[in-house]
Structures are given as structure tokens and as C-alpha cells.
Amino acid sequence: MKTPPELLNEHACFGGIQRFYQHDSREIGLPMRFSVFLPPQAAQGPVPALVYLAGLTCNEETFMMKAGAQRLAAELGLALIAPDTSPRGANLHGESDSWDFGLAAGFYLDATEAPWSTHYRMESYITAELLPLVTAALPMDSSRIGIFGHSMGGHGALTLALRHPGLFRSVSAFAPICSPSQCDWGRKAFGGYLGADESGWRAHDATVLMGDMARAPYPGGILIDQGLADKFLAGQLHPALFEAACASARQPLLLRRHAGYDHGYYFIATFMADHLAHHWRELGA
């Protein structure tokens, strides 16, 4: 029998409940924290759910505190799930040396290189452990799960959606790292977690994955919002490369470019309602 997650605290929120949990993860081998928002409709039965993957330096609280998603999620009847961005407490050499690798920078993949491969297993954690755990323990419909995220988490949302299309029925992203093989953030993470052989990186690059698709994996469309005042746009994000890959695969993509908006949560909060509505439509809520 699976041990249920430990409830750390909860708060009434727009007629629903905002909760924060901790559990012992078999995939990570360490305690992991995550947050959940349950809309008021969950009191009557299972509701569709969205997984949100946060970006570099963030944790399981960032989205719930900053994105302003709960009000509309409560109206639509959508649950929200936010995992942490990396293992905590692994105490690996070099884990905290930089802000874009190691702690709070797990890049939502399973590392293959020592010493990271022991605990840095974020893809398996989310897809094979966290989602089965929360959908079994809480009133969520496991057949109606969407995924979205920001920056590193946008990379995670796109790649996990493309690698697990049977698990996720909808996908969107805010300012995602669209081609990590071709930017400093991604090359640093992939080199450290996956090794020097760049052929192994292809399976975790959304642009490459989409380019290899024989048909559109999400015929209902993918939504991406990108701020044109984002200081990371030119060097790190490369949305135009993913746009071209979607065109090649005939994957419907709505890539919206917004003058004046940067990389932060004011930008995310501005367009959050559009993303929730996109997922609500795709999940058949």
C-alpha cells in the first residue's frame, strides 16, 4: 500500500483549497515537495488537472504564489499541480555552485551521468510517480491532464508532452527554452546531466523532437507566449526554431510575441487566463 503524501499546510482559496505536500520519493530517493490547488468542484468528484513546471531558481511555491492562476482555475474547475524544480538534500559536489545547474535546475530529465544520475530523475519523478500519486490520493481525473511551464519549465512542458503524448492531453508554455541544445543554459545542463555525446541530447530538445514527428501530436494546438523585452530571448529561448519545427510537422502552434513584456511573473500573470482557457478547451472540461 502506497504511503499518502504528508500535508504540510493548506489554505482556503477562491472557494477551493491550496495545499502543500511532502513525500518520500522512490524515483528521487529523497523527500520531495509539491503543491496542489483543488477547485471547489473537486468536492463533487474528480476534476481535470494541469501540471505547471517552474523555471530556474524556483520551487513548488513559486507558481502558486505569483502566477494568479487560482481564481480562474476555481471558476473553470481545474486542479493545479506544481512540483519542485530539482531534488533537495542530495548534497552533491558542485550542486549549489551556480544558479543554472544543479539545485533548482533539474531540467525535467533523468540524468545519466554520475553523480547526478542517482537523484536527478525529474522526468520519471513527474510522469511515473508524482502524477499517479496525486491522482490516486486526490479527486483528479487521470485521463484529463495537461502540462505547461515557464522558461526551463517551458522546456520541460514541451519535451514531456512530446515524449509522453498519451499522458498529457494539452500543452502550453511561457517563454520556453525551445532548443536547449543550441543555448548556453541547455548545453550546460545537458553536458552535465547527459554527458558530452550530443546525440543523447536530441531526445530532450523540443525543437528536435517536434522536427522528428511524423504527424502533429497535439492537433488541438500548442500555445506559447513570449515577451519581446525578455533579455533571454535572443540568446537562450529560440522560439522561432520551434515554430519552424511545428510548421514542418504540421503541428498547429499559436506563438504570440508581446512587445514590452519581459521574462518574469508579471508577464506570466498577464496571460495566465489564456493558458488556462486553452487547457480547459483541450481537456474537454
Query: What does the block give as the cell for 229?
Result: 523585452
| Residue whose C-alpha cell reads 548556453 in the numeric block | 184
Q: What percent of the chain has pLDDT over 70?
A: 99
Strands 31-38 and 79-83 come out as antiparallel
Cell 522560439 belongs to which residue? 239
Q: Please identify which of the residues 25, 35, 86, 151 carries the catalytic annotation.
A: 151
CA distances from 134 to 1, 158, 255 (A): 15, 21, 31
The DSSP string of 135-187 is HHHSSEEEEEEEEEEETHHHHHHHHHHHH-TTT-SEEEEES----GGGSHHHH
CA 259/CA 253 separation, integer angstroms: 19
* Set 150, 155, 263, 275: catalytic member: 263
| Average pLDDT over every residue of 219-236 | 98
Is 170 among the catalytic positions? no
The percent of residues above 90 in pLDDT, for the chain, comes to 98
pLDDT band at 1 (very low <50, low <70, confident <90, very high): very low
Reply yes or no on whether the pLDDT at 13 is more than 50.
Answer: yes
pLDDT tens-digit readout, 126-161: 999 999 999 999 999 999 999 999 999 999 999 999
Q: Which residues contact 132 (CB under 8 A, 6 or more apart)?
A: 142
Out of 110, 205, 225, 230, the active site residue is 230
Name the strand (E) or helix (H) holding 74: helix 70-76
Q: Is 151 a catalytic residue?
A: yes
pLDDT at 285: 57
With cell 514542418, the residue in question is 248
pLDDT tens by residue, 157-177: 999 999 999 999 999 999 999
* Residue whose cell numbers read 523585452: 229
Average pLDDT of the chain is 97
The CA dihedral of 223, 17, 65, 227, to the nearest 10 degrees, is 10
Report d(CA 207, CA 202) in Å as an integer.
Answer: 9
Query: In degrees, to the nearest 5, what angle opens at C-alpha 149 toward C-alphas 35 and 182?
Result: 140
CA dist., res. 209 & res. 156, Å (int): 12
Residues shown for the chain:
285
Q: Is 230 a catalytic residue?
A: yes
Q: Which helix (H) or strand (E) holds 11?
A: strand 6-13
Q: Could you tell me which residues come within 8 angstroms of residue 121 by beta carbon, excluding any fewer than 6 positions away?
A: 27, 28, 110, 111
